[in-house]
Amino acid sequence: PITPGELLCLGSSLAFSGLFYYMYRKKAKVVARIQEAPKLQVDDNLPALVSAAEGNCLPYVALEGIVLPAQAALTSHYHEGLQGVIQKLLLKEHRLIWNSLARSW
């Protein structure tokens, strides 16, 4: 005899398994798209490729080339000879609205 508690546990377990499998398949498709991304070189032809693309945007593209630091390259304290640079990011908020219910912007 199966109790209602056991049925509840079985049903919730199946529901969570289905949810996690759905999320896994969704992320696996994104990873496959990233792995199949075309590799482009950073050269003089890159601006022409971007402007020719739809919406002036190239989704999932791997850029290969030499990056020059603006000032000095960062060196690793843990791995000798390893250097890196920091990418500058620009964040632009389009609209800021006060939510009185949540008391936040």
Q: Provide block-wise average pLDDT over 10 residues at a time, the chain (105 residues).
A: 93 97 96 88 87 84 82 88 78 72 77
Q: What is the pLDDT of residue 60?
A: 78
Q: Name 63's bridge partners.
A: 40
Question: According to the model, what pLDDT value does residue 27 have?
Answer: 96
SS3 state of residue 103: coil
Residue pair 64/39 in contact by the 8 Å Cβ criterion = yes
Q: Which helix (H) or strand (E) holds 34?
A: helix 4-35
Per-residue pLDDT at 61:
84
Q: Where are the domains of the chain?
A: 4-84
Q: What is the pLDDT of residue 90?
A: 66
Q: What pLDDT is recorded for position 8?
A: 96
